[in-house]
Chain A
Amino acid sequence: MIAPIPVSLLVNGEPIEALVAPRLNLADFLRETLKLTGTHVGCEHGVCGACTVRVDGEIVRSCLLLAVQAQGSSVETIEGLSDSGEIADLQAAFRARNALQCGYCTPGMLITAQDLLRQSPTPDRAAIREHLSGNYCRCTGYQAIVDAVEATAKTRAEQAA
């Protein structure tokens, strides 16, 4: 049926039960149903990366995932990553280096950069650019974003040592 379908999932650790139309994508579910508007919607066809969220620990495009497909998953949004403090240092580095202007791409950039730093703690600039290659920024020219990610990686590595 085109009729709504029940879904249950975790969003930022909180159990959520909802009835969703099959056509509702996860980005709109987060933004409109749950009012988690930190997940941004740019292109709605996978190219801009503004809608990037984590599902079961892996980054995905929430505009290309139906809310019903998130059944049983654990979804983490920028709100979750911010509130837990997981990316506080990365956020501070973005701010310190003007790695954002309008801020539209920033949630997706932060989640994607954090994904890289979790997989490879000391990436070089080429690796940073490659991991962020699917995230558009129309303000900064990317240089400052790469700087912020590189600086965060260095600080974390020093702290771990």
Chain B
Amino acid sequence: MKAAAFTYARATSVVNALELLAAHGDKAKVLSGGQSLMPAMNLRLVSPDIVVDIGGLTELRGIAVSGDVLAIGALTRHVDLLRSPEVAAHAPLLRDAVAHVAHPAIRNRGTVGGSLAHADPASEIPACMAALDATIVVRGPGGERRIATAEFFRGIYETALSPQDLLVAVELPLSGEGARFFFQEYARRHGDYAIVGLAARALVGGGQFTDLRLGFFAVGDRPLLADAARKLINVSVTPALLAETAAALAEELDPEEDQQASPAMRRHLATVLMRRCVAALLERPELETGGAW
């Protein structure tokens, strides 16, 4: 199908975009890469009266390290994350994850800001932001707001953004020496939205986790930073403890039923990914299968 008719406005600056959004409210839609908005418009799932194209705002594009923060502009494309030396050095998790986001032609247009604003619970980038403890920078009628990932995602396609807001950047604390990362997902085909996925960041010392953030996706209505991970911090991980943690994780998840998987299958796959992740990060392959128990 084709999109319904709409008015097109090419924003000339962030201020201009905010003025247009303030004037048109929920009748307007921001257009970044268009890789989620255009399919939805072509399928007539959304029919905005006006589309505010921010694609030309170079001020929203780019990746930079300043102090102990890695700042990524909203219009930075998926492909830019794949190629960025700063991302490779300070947030390799994002690079690993983006290789699983859609296909090359889509990664050439889709943006970080669009992915976060779209808030598909099966999407990779939001879960990475949860694992990496990112802050999302938003500009709206009342000025700039800085929102922690945990407060930003509110449900399926729901975020803390109001129709007048523009997501302008995301800021990540630099990973620091010795941080370890893990990314894996189950998908029917490379590039498809995940059935279940895990993006993790850990600090390891003396064979134990001193920090562990497990960001699951496609396991509920938003990316989930698993509480169960706390059980594994500052202790020696045994097969028994891992089994207990897996049970706690399954309890914590509230997966949706859809044509890809049942909630029970998603719970199971999430625990498989967690075991793999712990085994990989601690370099103890025997933990993956549950070990001697």
Q: Which residues of A contact B (CB under 8 A)?
A: 1-2, 5, 21-23, 25, 28, 44-46, 49, 52, 58-61, 63-66, 68-69, 71, 112, 115-116, 129-131, 133-135
The 8 A CB mask of B1-44 against A (1 = contact, 0 = none) is 11111111010000000000000000000010011001100110
Give the 10 A-B CB pairs with smallest separation, nearest first.
Answer: A134-B103, A22-B8, A45-B39, A64-B38, A59-B105, A58-B108, A133-B191, A23-B3, A44-B42, A133-B190
Q: CA–CA, A25 to B79, complex, Å? A: 22
Q: CA–CA, A135 to B103, complex, Å? A: 9
Contact (Cβ within 8 A) B42 A69: no
Q: List, in ascending order, chain A residues with CB within 8 A of B5's CB.
A: 2, 21-23
Interface status of B55 (Cβ within 8 A of chain A) = yes
Q: List, in ascending order, chain B residues with CB within 8 A of A22's CB.
A: 5-8, 51
Q: For A61, give its contact among B43, B106, B191 (CB under 8 Å).
A: B106
Q: Which residues of B contact A (CB under 8 A)?
A: 1-8, 10, 31, 34-35, 38-39, 42-43, 51, 53, 55, 79, 102-106, 108-109, 189-191
Q: CA–CA, A131 to B82, complex, Å? A: 14
Supposing A64-B35, A134-B104 touch, asked if A44 and B2 sit within 8 A by C-beta, the answer is yes
Q: CA–CA, A134 to B10, complex, Å? A: 29
Q: CA–CA, A149 to B7, complex, Å? A: 42
Contact (Cβ within 8 A) B109 A61: yes
Supposing A1-B7, A2-B7, A134-B103 touch, asked if A69 and B53 sit within 8 A by C-beta, the answer is yes
B104 to A: closest C-beta gap in Å: 6
Supposing A44-B2, A45-B39, A134-B105 touch, asked if A65 and B34 sit within 8 A by C-beta, the answer is yes
Q: List, in ascending order, chain B residues with CB within 8 A of A131's CB.
A: 104
The contact sample of 26 A-B pairs, CB cut-off 8 A, is: A22-B5, A22-B6, A22-B8, A25-B3, A44-B1, A44-B42, A45-B42, A49-B103, A58-B108, A59-B104, A59-B108, A63-B42, A64-B39, A65-B34, A65-B38, A68-B8, A69-B31, A69-B34, A112-B104, A112-B105, A116-B104, A131-B104, A133-B191, A134-B102, A134-B103, A134-B105
Please report whether the interface of chain B is mostly helix, strand, loop or mixed according to DSSP: loop
Q: A21-B5, A134-B106 are in contact. List 18 more A-B contacts (CB 8 A).
A: A22-B8, A46-B38, A52-B105, A59-B108, A61-B105, A61-B109, A63-B38, A64-B39, A64-B109, A65-B38, A68-B10, A69-B53, A71-B10, A112-B105, A130-B191, A133-B103, A134-B104, A134-B191
Contact (Cβ within 8 A) A60 B105: yes
Q: CA–CA, A112 to B6, complex, Å? A: 31
Q: CA–CA, A135 to B4, complex, Å? A: 26
Contact (Cβ within 8 A) A69 B6: no
Q: CA–CA, A76 to B53, complex, Å? A: 23
Q: CA–CA, A150 to B7, complex, Å? A: 45
Q: For A5, give its contact among B2, B8, B42, B55 (CB under 8 Å).
A: B8
Q: List, in ascending order, chain A residues with CB within 8 A of B55's CB.
A: 69
Q: Which of B4, B6, B109 has the most CB of A within 10 A?
A: B109
Q: CA–CA, A130 to B187, complex, Å? A: 13
B156 to A: closest C-beta gap in Å: 18
B51 to A: closest C-beta gap in Å: 7
Q: CA–CA, A64 to B53, complex, Å? A: 13
Q: Which of B3, B53, B105 has the most CB of A within 10 A?
A: B105
Contact (Cβ within 8 A) B43 A23: no
Supposing A130-B190, A134-B104 touch, asked if A60 and B6 sit within 8 A by C-beta, the answer is no
Supposing A22-B6, A69-B55 touch, asked if A64 and B34 sit within 8 A by C-beta, the answer is yes
Q: Which of A49, A59, A69 has the most CB of B within 10 A?
A: A69
Supposing A64-B38, A130-B190 touch, asked if A46 and B106 sit within 8 A by C-beta, the answer is yes
Identify the closest chain B residue to A72 (Cβ): B56
Q: List, in ascending order, chain B residues with CB within 8 A of A23's CB.
A: 2-6
A137 to B: closest C-beta gap in Å: 13
Q: List, in ascending order, chain A residues with CB within 8 A of B10's CB.
A: 68, 71
A117 to B: closest C-beta gap in Å: 13
B192 to A: closest C-beta gap in Å: 9
